[in-house]
Each structure stands twice: as C-alpha cells, then as structure tokens.
Amino acid sequence: MSTQTEQVWETLRQAGLTEGAAPETGKLESPWYVKILLAFSGWLAAVFLLGFIGMGLGFVFESSGAAMIIGGMMIGGAFALLRISKNEFVEHLALAVSLAGQVLVVFALFDISSSDQEIAWLLLALLQLSLAVVMPNFVHRVFSSFVAAIAFTICLTYWGGYYVVGGMVMFLAALCWLHEFRYPRQMKRIQAIGYGLVLALILLKGTALFGYRTIGWLFSRDQPELWAGPWIGELLTGVVAIYVVWHLLQRYGQRISERITITALSGTILLCGVSMEVQGITVGMVIVLLGFAGANRVLVGLGVLSLLFYISFYYYLLDTTLLAKSQTLLIVGLVLLLLRWLMLTFIPANQEAKHV
Amino acid sequence: MISSRSQFIELMEQGAIPVDKIGDALKATKVAPDGKTWRTFIDHFLLWLGGLALAFAVMFFIAYNWHAIGRFAKFGMVEGIVVLAIVAYCRFGGTSASGKVSLLVATICLGVLLAFFGQTYQTGADPWQLFFVWALLMLPWAIIGRFPAIWIVWVVLLNTSLVLYYQTFGGIFWLMSGSETGLLWLIFMLNTLLLAAWEVLAAPWHWLSERWALRLLATAGGVPLNCLVLQSIFADSDASFLPGLVWVIWMAAMYLVYRKTKPDLFMLAGCCLSGITVSVSFLGKYMLEYSSAGSFLFLSLVVIGMGTGAAFWLKKVHQECQS
C-alpha cells in the first residue's frame, strides 16, 4: 500500500469510519494517460488484426453471414479471455480481438440492413450498450459506451430527434457521476460508462454547435425532418443542469427555503437562460461541476477544455452576426460576474461552512 | 483541488470501507468537497469564465467592424478596457484570482487593440508581426503576472508568429527550405527549448512548476519530432537519418529527466506512445511491402507486446512514485 493510501486510511480511522490496520495490498488506479496508451495500442493492434483477416481469410469480408459469425466469435473470445485472465498481455490481446470483431459485426450489420440504416445504427447502439455493461475491462467500457451514445444519436437523427439526444446523454452521464460511489461493486463499471458518455456528449455538443448538417453526409437518401429544434436541446440541457445542482444541494442537506439553495438554483436558471445562444456553455459547466463534486481532475479538465473549445468555436458559427455574438457573450460574462458578486455578498463564507 | 480520490477508490475496491459509511468517508477524505472548498471553487470558476466571456465579447465586437461607431470610439473602448483591467489588477493584487483574470483580460484585449490598429491604418505589416508584437508587448505583464496560464498564452503567440513568419518568407535563419519539414523542425526546437528553460526556471520559481503547462510544452515539442521521424520512415527516397538520431537523443533525455531526476508519468507514457508508433511504423514499412497475412499478424502481436510492456513498466513506476 502506498504512503498516500495509508494517510487516507489513517484519516478514516481517526474519523471512526474504519477500524484496525490498513489493508495490505491494493491495485492503484492507472492515470488517464496510461489508459489512453492502452486504448491506442488496442486500436492499432486491431487494425493489423483486421489486415490479417482481410489477407488471410478474405471470404469473411465477402459474406456478411461469415463476418457476423467470425466477429461474434471474436467478441465472445475476448470476453472469455478477460473473464479468465487478469494478465496484462491477455488484457491487451482481448481488447484488440474484441475491437477487430466489432468491426466485422458492424460490417455485417450495415451490409444486411442496406436499406434500413437506422435499424443498423440502433442495433449497433444496443450491441455497444451490452458490451459496455458486460465487458470486464475499463477501456473497453469507455469505448463501448462512447460508441453506443454516438450510434443512438445517429439513429434518433433518422427519426428527427437530433437535438434531444444531447440532453438525454447528459442526463445519463450526470446519473453515472452523481451515483458513482453508491454501488461499490459496480463503481468501476459506472465510472467507465460515465467517461464514455461525457466524451460522447462533448463531441455531440460540438457538432450541434455547427448545426446537424455536420453529420448530414450520413443521410445519403434524404434529410430527415427534425421535430425538435436546437432550443429544445438547450432547454433539456438546462433542465439537467438544474437537476445536477438540486441533487448536489440535497447531498449536503440543503432545504429548498434556505438562502444557498435559492441563490444556487436561481443562478443556474439565469445562467441556462442567458447561455441558450452560446451552445455548450451549460454542458461544459455541468461537466466541471460533476468533476469537482467527486474531486475528479480528469472530468474537471474535460469540462474546462470543452468550455474553451465551445467559446472559441462560437466565433465560426454562421447563423448569427459577430455583433449579436458579442452582445450574447457580454451578457453571459456580466451575468457570471453578477452571480459571483451575489454569492460573495449573500452567502458569507462562515454560513457555507456551517451548513456542510 | 487536494484529492485523495485515487486512494479512496483503491480502498473502496478492496471493500475496506463499510457501505453505510461511504458518504461520511467521502467527506472525511475531502473527495466530496466541503462548503468552504465549494465556495472558493465557484468563486474562481465564475470569475475566470466571466472574465474570458467579456474578453471574447470585445474581440467579437471589434471583429464585426461595425460602421455605426467611429474608429476613435472603438480605440477608446478597447484602450479603456485594457487600462481598466490593469487598474483592476493593481487593485486586487497579483496573488488573487481576480488579479490574474484582470491581467489575462488585459492581455487578450491588447491583441484585439493591435489587430484593430492594423485593420484601421492598413500598415502593410505581415500577420506574423501582429502576434510577435503582441507577444513582445505582453511580456512585462507575463513577468509580473507569475502564473503559468499567461506564460502559455505567450508561448502560443510565439508559436503562431513563428509559423506565420515561416509561411511568409519560406524559411528562417539557416532553415530556408520552405518545406513542411523545416517548419516541423522549428516548432520542435522552439518548444523543446522552452520546455528546458521552463524546467530549469521552475526550480527557483515554484509557481512555474505546474505540471499541466510542462506537459503541454512537451507535447508541443514531441508531436512535430514524431511527425519528422514518421516522414523520414515513409519517405520514398532521400531518407534522412537525422530525425531518427534526434528522436533517439530526445527519448534518452526524456527518460533521464522524467525517470531519474523529476519523475513524471505523463512524460514517460508519451515516450512509450512515441516508441510504439515509431517502431511499428518502421517495422510496418518493411514487413507490409508484400502484404502477407503473416506480417499483419506479427505486427499486431508486436503492438500488443509493446503495449503490454509499456503498461506494465508505467504501472511499476506509478507504484514507485506513490510509495
């Protein structure tokens, strides 16, 4: 056990939350960049593996049935490998085999349902969703939940609901992060799915910023009729933001009538209202909030980066003039500073500390 | 954010914390922040985001080139904001978040002022001059600011002016090739020099030792070098050994500094990623020439083997750093 873990154990023991000596051994969580390295090598190995299948077993790509069977077997084999062995090499091998198998299954899915692309996307979303739940590997779960969210978005876009998906994905991501420690046995699973959903959310909001035409190339037949406009998407995002703030207030035992609750909720509503035009600001702020609530630096970093990205790319939005954008940003900036002033004035430091 | 998150998760995975006490344990270990921490965080967050939104609002307003307002009014407005931001910096002090935000707003608005000057008087200056003069004029503020974010803005401006200069004149100093390769060499050298200087200066000035800034610089130097090595590997003819040689020296230096002197897992993970990419590209070029199935399978196993080795080593170093 590391010195830092021993210190945490001592803190818990002094608070009367644990007893006895610290546990002997523990598996230290790898930092995010080590996981990215794992994901990269898995992806690269999968590309070569597909090359091997293409060159050595060419018939697989000629028949969708064969691709489906071989792909399914590869995913099943990867699952078995991950279940049986905790060896580092086997873990990498299983990741690569599973990714290559998924490509074969996706190839078969789109080949079979050539005229009903939305069904293929829905099936892909369901496949990835089940893989995110069952595959006993962190990187695999992040990848699968990310792809599931993207595939589900594309499927729903066929049915005209492109702008509502952002709010749905954000709600699911918020649920994951607000309850990450609630079910200890499922903690790793919830965290991995949470990361996948947040990454998908950042990407989805980025494409929504430029209008859904950015993914229009997918719809070769005809452009689907959208029944929900961008404002519905922002409204849903706002509702999720209010839910997150409300949940955090509840966690700290704040009642609805208390000054902190009223200030926080009205501030959130005001902020969601003024940032309707600058899409993405609410999303970025919620990601930062979720990250800070769990002392999760990676999530806070992702939120900050997405905020910088959304504000910078707002410049290139063609729907409104730079003058209108300037006015919107001026209002957003002033409201943010006003909220800060309100917080510093109406919630004195000692009152906040007293409540928590 | 002083976090015990990783350690808390490690203990939870072992089932060492009773389920009914998880909520209290989160608060005791500060994984769930207390009221004071929340207040400071929201204060800083609203301040930074609000300040940036206002600075961007000024930038967008000037970029719109609205004729209803005369040029002197616009100059007055931007100059007024710069002065106001500097007054705010003096009022709040350099160590407070408000002071830092004010200085950054002043820096961004200074760029807007220079761009507007160039647009109004059509000085005939090249675009690189705007960014270079901006970097030069903001330098005193960066020196007194003493926080990494403002120095990263300076580094970005320097990189941008260098790229634009190179594109305008097709070279710089002895690197007059005008090719993309020359530009990659320049960006690599600039950011590696800045990284080395930053690391040396971080010893006496602790405010410089924030890891995110150093990691960003290392990435900005490492990516162009890797592109150069990959270019030399896949070049059809006239393959130069120089990128490969520099890459080996760079990897050795990174290992010595970030494994032996100042352990940093991010830098080592980056080197592993670079090592896998370069080795597999080198092997791939020669093995995939005849596109045989066996070569693909071999390369796949090589990647898995190298990935496993890297992950195993990095975990070992991580354990060492934590103990």
Closest A-chain CA to B318: A30
Q: Which residue has the tokens 């005209």?
A: A160
The fraction of chain A above a pLDDT of 90, given in percent, is 45
Candidates A137, A278, A356, partner chain B, best to mutate (most B CBs within 10 A): A356
Under the banding of pLDDT at 50, 70 and 90, the label for residue A354 is: very low
Instruction: Compute the CA torsion angle B84, B89, B90, B91 (nearest 10 deg).
Output: 80
The string over A159-195, giving b where at least 16 C-beta atoms fall within 10 Å of a residue's C-beta and e elsewhere, is: eebbbbbbbbbbbbbbbbbbebbeeeeebbbbbbbbb
Q: Is the pLDDT of residue A187 over 90?
A: yes
Candidates A326, A327, A351, partner chain B, best to mutate (most B CBs within 10 A): A326
Which one has a higher pLDDT value, B170 or A330? A330
Q: B54 and chain A: CB distance < 8 Å anywhere? A: yes
Q: Which residues pair with B175 in a beta bridge?
A: B172
| B54·A252 Cβ contact <8 A | no
| A92·B273 Cβ contact <8 A | no
Which tens digits make up the pLDDT trace of A14-63?
A: 888 887 777 776 667 788 899 899 899 999 999 999 999 888 887 888 88
Under the banding of pLDDT at 50, 70 and 90, the label for residue A118 is: confident
| B7·A8 Cβ contact <8 A | yes
- Contact predicate A82/A91, CB 8 Å: yes
Nearest neighbour of B16 by CB, restricted to A23, A29, A46: A23
Of A177, A174, A256, nearest to B32 by C-alpha is A177
| B314·A37 Cβ contact <8 A | yes
Contact residues on chain B for A311, CB-CB shorter than 8 A: 52-53, 56
Q: Is the pLDDT of residue B156 over 90?
A: yes
Under the banding of pLDDT at 50, 70 and 90, the label for residue A351 is: low
- Contact predicate A220/A328, CB 8 Å: no
Query: What is the C-alpha to C-alpha distance for residues A348 and A335, in angstroms, rounded to an integer?
Result: 20
Check residue B256 and report its DSSP letter: I
Which tens digits make up the pLDDT trace of A252-303?
A: 888 777 788 888 898 899 888 887 877 788 999 999 999 999 999 999 999 9
Closest-CA distance of chain B to residue A259, Å: 14
CA-to-CA dists, residue A24 to A6, A20, B111, B318, angstroms: 10, 12, 57, 18
- Per DSSP, the three-state class of B172 is strand
Query: What is the C-alpha to C-alpha distance for residues B140 and A350, in angstroms, rounded to an integer?
Result: 38
Candidates B17, B40, B105, B300, partner chain A, best to mutate (most A CBs within 10 A): B300
| B57·A329 Cβ contact <8 A | yes
- One-letter-per-residue 3-state SS of A193-228: HHHHHHHHHHHHHHHHHCCHHHHHHHCCCCCCCCCC
Which one has a higher pLDDT value, B288 or A148? A148
Q: What average pLDDT does the segment A109-121 reach? A: 84
| B60·A28 Cβ contact <8 A | no
Q: HSE (CB half, 13 Å, CA atoms) of B144?
A: 14
Contacts of A121 (CB under 8 A, 6+ apart): A151, A152, A154, A155, A158
Residue type, A205: K
- Per DSSP, the three-state class of A278 is coil
CA-to-CA dists, residue A224 to A111, A157, A346, B215, angstroms: 22, 7, 49, 44
Nearest neighbour of A184 by CB, restricted to B19, B269, B312: B19
Under the banding of pLDDT at 50, 70 and 90, the label for residue A11 is: confident
Closest-CA distance of chain B to residue A130, Å: 23
Q: What average pLDDT does the segment B150-156 reach? A: 95
pLDDT of residue B93: 85
Nearest neighbour of B15 by CB, restricted to A92, A184, A322: A184
Which tens digits make up the pLDDT trace of B216-263?
A: 999 999 999 999 999 999 887 766 788 999 999 999 999 999 999 999
Under the banding of pLDDT at 50, 70 and 90, the label for residue A219 is: low
Query: What is the C-alpha to C-alpha distance for residues B153 and B145, in angstroms, rounded to an integer?
Result: 12
Q: A48 and chain B: CB distance < 8 Å anywhere? A: yes
Which tens digits make up the pLDDT trace of A96-109?
A: 999 999 999 999 99
Stretch 277-306 of chain A: residues touching chain B, C-beta under 8 Å: 285, 288, 292-297, 300
Query: What is the C-alpha to C-alpha distance for residues A92 and A82, in angstroms, rounded to an integer?
Result: 9
Q: A8 and chain B: CB distance < 8 Å anywhere? A: yes
Q: Is the pLDDT of residue A194 over 90?
A: yes
Of A35, A76, A331, A353, nearest to A195 by C-alpha is A35
- Mean pLDDT check: name the lowest of A156-165, A282-291, B250-259, B269-278: A156-165
Which one has a higher pLDDT value, A7 or B85? B85
Across chain A, what does the average pLDDT equal? Answer: 86
Query: What is the C-alpha to C-alpha distance for residues A41 and B307, in angstroms, rounded to an integer?
Result: 6
pLDDT of residue B196: 96
Q: Is the pLDDT of residue B98 over 80?
A: yes
Closest A-chain CA to B267: A33
The token duo for A152 is 């589900």
Q: Is the pLDDT of residue A213 over 70?
A: no
Q: What average pLDDT does the segment A152-172 reach? A: 88
- Per DSSP, the three-state class of B116 is helix
- Mean pLDDT check: name the lowest of A156-160, A315-319, B52-56, B268-272: A315-319
pLDDT of residue B199: 94
pLDDT of residue B283: 93
Q: What average pLDDT does the segment B258-277 reach? A: 94
Across chain B, what does the average pLDDT equal? Answer: 89
Candidates B2, B31, B60, B302, partner chain A, best to mutate (most A CBs within 10 A): B60
Q: Is the pLDDT of residue A207 over 60?
A: yes
CA-to-CA dists, residue B49 to A210, A307, A316, B43, B105, angstroms: 22, 9, 20, 10, 11
| B9·A340 Cβ contact <8 A | no
Under the banding of pLDDT at 50, 70 and 90, the label for residue B70 is: confident
